[in-house]
C-alpha cells in the first residue's frame, strides 16, 4: 500500500505495449480501491512498428509515440518519470534511479528489451532500441548528408535490420551507400521465399548485403568484419537481436536462461505471486515465444485482469498465445513484405495495410486519458 493509504498498491514498471491496455482502463482499477503508480524513464512510449518509418521520414516522431504520463495521470494514477533501478522482491520494494523507493502489493514489469551485442555507446553507433534512439540517428544522418554522401552500416539481418536499412535508403534517397552485415543469412527465420523477395528489394534499393559475417571490432569511422574486411561508416545502426534489461539481473526471482523474468501461464513470476510481467522482458515457462510486439499487446488484457484479480482475491486467467501472427515489414520503398501462414507477398497494398494498422493503434491512445473501460 502507498504510505498513509488503505488501498493496495499496484506499481506498473514501464509503459510498454503490454501495459497500454491497463493504462487506458485505470479508472476501473481505481474504482475498485487500487492505488496505481506508473514508473517510466520517459513520458513517451515509442511504438516500434513505426520506428523504421520515422527514421525514413514517413512519420514524424510525434506520430509514433504515446504519452504514457498523460494516460496514467488522466486515469487517476501517479506517474514517476525515472527508470526503475532495482527490485527487492523479498521486501516488495522498487528502487528508482532518482532515489525514490516504492512499496508494492503487486508489481507488473513491462520494461522491454535492449539490443544484444551492443558495442561501445557513441553518437555514431546507435542501437535500434530504445526506438527513441532513431530520432537522434535521423538528425545525425541528415546532418552528415548536408556535407557529403554518408556511409551507413546496419548490423543485423533480422526483420529490424532489414526495415532499418530500407528506411535509411528512403531517408538518403539516391545519396550515400548502405551496407547490411548479418552473421546469419538475412531473414533466416522467415520462409525461403520471403528471404528471396527481401534480397531483391535490398538490391533494388542499392543496399549491399554481407551475410555470414559479423563485426569483430569497431574503430573510429570503420568496422572490422570477421572475414577481415573493413567497412567505413559515418553512422552505424545496430539491430543484432535483443536481450532483457539489466534490471532483472538481481531481482532474486527465477529467470529464464536469457535473463528474462520466468512467468507461468497467468503471466505471474514463478517465484512470487506479487510480480507479473508482459512483453519482451518475460519468458513463458511452458512456451517461450518470439520477442514481437504482437504478443506484448495480446498480453495486455490478461495482465489487466490478473493484476486486479491478484489484489482482490479473484481467479486469474491464463494467457493462451495465438499460434501464428501476421508479419509486415516496411521496406522503405513504399512497399511492405507480408508473411502469414506460408503466404509471402510484397507490395504497396501490404504497406498500406501496415500503415493503417500501425496508425490506428497509436491514434487509439491519443486523447484517451480518462480511462474508459471499453
Ligand atoms: C526496429 C524495430 C522494429 C520492430 N517492429 C515490430 C513490428 O512491426 N511488429 C512487432 O510485433 N514487433 C516489432 N518489433 C519488436 C518489438 O519492438 C518488441 O517486441 C516490442 O517492443 C515489445 O514490447 P514491450 O512492451 O515488451 O517493450 P517496449 O516496446 O520496448 O517497451 C518497454 C517500455 O519500458 C520502458 N522501460 C525500459 N526500461 C525501464 C526501466 N528501467 N524502468 C521503467 N521503465 C522502463 C521503456 O521506456 C518502454 O516504454 C520491432 C523491433 C525493432 C527493434
115-241: same fold as 9-41+82-113+244-312?
Answer: yes
Q: For position 372, what pLDDT does the model report?
A: 35
Ligand 1 site, residue 111, Cβ cutoff 6 A: yes
Q: For position 370, what pLDDT does the model report?
A: 40
Element (H, E) at 85: strand 84-88
Ligand 1 site, residue 280, Cβ cutoff 6 A: yes
Give the contacts of 341 (CB within 8 A, at least 6 positions apart).
Answer: 324
**CA distance linking residue 172 with residue 186, whole number of Å:** 22
Cβ contact 369:75 at 8 Å: yes
Which of ligand 1's atoms lies nearest the C-alpha of 164? 1
Residue 369 binned pLDDT confidence (cut-offs 50, 70, 90): very low
Ligand 1 site, residue 17, Cβ cutoff 6 A: yes
Ligand 1 site, residue 39, Cβ cutoff 6 A: yes
130 alpha carbon to ligand 1 midpoint, in Å?
7
Cβ contact 223:236 at 8 Å: yes
Q: Nearest-5° angle of CA 202, CA 206, CA 209? A: 55
Q: Which three cell numbers stand for residue 226?
A: 570477421
Q: Is the pLDDT of residue 17 over 60?
A: yes
Cβ contact 329:336 at 8 Å: yes
304 alpha carbon to ligand 1 midpoint, in Å?
18
| Measured CA distances, 156 to 118, 186, 332 (Å) | 11, 8, 17
Q: Is the pLDDT of residue 359 over 80?
A: yes
Ligand 1 site, residue 51, Cβ cutoff 6 A: yes
Residue 160 binned pLDDT confidence (cut-offs 50, 70, 90): very high
More confident residue, 90 or 123: 90
10 alpha carbon to ligand 1 midpoint, in Å?
22
Cβ contact 219:233 at 8 Å: no
Nearest CA to ligand 1 atom 29: 16
- Per DSSP bridges, beta strands 207-211 and 215-219 are unpaired
pLDDT digits (tens, 9 = 90+) for 285-342: 999 999 999 999 999 999 999 999 999 999 999 999 998 899 999 999 999 999 999 8
Question: How large is the C-alpha radius of gyration of the chain?
Answer: 21
Nearest one of 224, 214, 144 to 181, comparing CA atoms: 214
**CA distance linking residue 52 with residue 45, whole number of Å:** 15
Q: Is the pLDDT of residue 2 over 90?
A: no
- Helix 159-172 with 133-147: angle, nearest 10 deg: 40
Which of ligand 1's atoms lies nearest the C-alpha of 294? 11
Ligand 1 site, residue 45, Cβ cutoff 6 A: yes
Q: Which three cell numbers stand for residue 40?
A: 517510466
Ligand 1 site, residue 48, Cβ cutoff 6 A: yes
**CA distance linking residue 283 with residue 299, whole number of Å:** 12
Q: Which fold has domain 115-241?
A: FAD/NAD(P)-binding domain (3.50.50)
DSSP-derived 3-state class of residue 358? helix
Ligand 1 site, residue 84, Cβ cutoff 6 A: yes
Q: For position 221, what pLDDT does the model report?
A: 86
| Structural domain spans, the chain | 9-41+82-113+244-312, 115-241
Ligand 1 site, residue 294, Cβ cutoff 6 A: yes
Which of ligand 1's atoms lies nearest the C-alpha of 279? 26
Residues 237-250, mean pLDDT to the nearest whole number? 92
pLDDT digits (tens, 9 = 90+) for 92-150: 999 999 999 999 999 999 999 999 877 766 778 999 999 999 999 999 999 999 999 99
Ligand 1 site, residue 371, Cβ cutoff 6 A: no
Q: Is the pLDDT of residue 346 over 70?
A: yes
Mutate to test the pocket of ligand 1, among 23, 64, 112, 354 (most ligand atoms within 8 A of CB): 112
- Identify the CATH homologous superfamily for domain 9-41+82-113+244-312: FAD/NAD(P)-binding domain (3.50.50.60)
Task: Name the pTM for this structure.
Answer: 0.94
Amino acid at each position: 500500500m502507498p504510505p498513509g493509504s488503505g488501498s493496495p498498491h499496484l506499481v506498473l514498471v514501464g509503459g510498454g505495449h503490454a501495459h497500454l491496455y491497463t493504462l487506458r482502463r485505470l479508472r476501473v482499477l481505481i474504482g475498485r480501491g487500487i492505488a496505481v503508480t506508473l514508473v517510466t524513464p520517459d513520458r513517451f512510449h515509442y511504438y516500434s512498428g513505426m520506428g523504421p518509418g520515422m527514421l525514413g521520414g514517413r512519420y514524424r516522431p510525434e506520430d509514433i509515440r504515446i504519452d504514457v504520463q498523460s494516460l496514467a495521470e488522466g486515469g487517476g494514477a501517479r506517474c514517476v518519470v525515472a527508470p526503475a533501478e532495482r527490485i527487492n522482491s523479498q521486501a516488495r520494494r522498487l528502487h528508482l534511479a532518482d532515489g525514490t523507493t516504492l512499496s508494492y502489493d503487486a508489481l507488473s514489469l513491462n520494461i522491454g528489451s535492449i539490443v544484444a551485442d551492443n558495442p561501445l555507446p557513441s553518437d555514431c553507433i546507435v542501437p535500434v532500441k530504445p526506438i527513441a534512439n532513431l530520432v537522434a540517428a535521423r538528425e545525425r544522418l541528415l546532418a552528415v548528408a548536408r556535407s557529403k554522401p554518408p556511409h551507413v552500416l546496419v548490423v543485423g539481418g533480422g526483420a529490424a535490420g532489414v526495415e532499418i536499412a530500407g528506411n535509411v535508403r528512403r531517408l538518403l534517397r539516391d545519396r550515400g551507400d548502405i551496407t547490411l552485415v548479418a552473421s546469419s543469412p538475412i531473414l533466416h527465420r522467415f520462409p525461403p521465399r520471403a528471404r528471396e523477395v527481401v534480397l531483391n528489394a535490398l538490391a533494388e534499393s542499392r543496399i549491399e548485403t554481407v551475410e555470414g559475417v559479423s563485426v569483430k571490432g569497431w574503430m573510429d569511422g570503420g568496422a572490422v568484419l570477421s572475414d577481415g574486411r573493413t567497412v567505413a561508416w559515418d553512422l552505424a545502426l545496430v539491430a543484432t537481436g535483443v536481450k532483457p534489461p539489466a534490471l532483472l539481473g538481481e531481482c532474486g526471482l527465477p529467470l529464464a536462461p536469457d535473463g528474462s523474468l520466468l512467468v507461468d501461464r497467468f503471466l505471474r513470476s514463478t517465484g512470487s505471486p506479487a510480480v507479473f510481467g508482459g512483453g519482451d522482458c518475460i519468458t513463458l515457462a511452458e512456451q517461450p515465444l518470439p520477442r514481437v510486439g504482437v504478443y506484448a499487446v495480446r498480453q495486455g488484457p490478461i495482465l489487466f485482469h490478473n493484476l486486479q484479480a491478484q489484489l482482490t482475491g479473484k481467479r486469474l486467467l491464463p494467457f493462451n498465445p495465438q499460434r501464428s501472427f501476421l508479419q509486415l515489414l516496411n521496406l522503405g520503398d513504399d512497399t511492405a513484405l507480408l508473411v502469414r501462414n506460408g503466404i509471402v507477398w510484397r507490395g504497396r497494398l501490404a504497406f498500406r495495410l501496415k500503415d493503417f494498422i500501425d496508425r490506428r493503434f497509436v491514434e487509439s491512445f491519443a486523447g484517451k486519458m480518462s480511462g474508459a473501460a471499453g
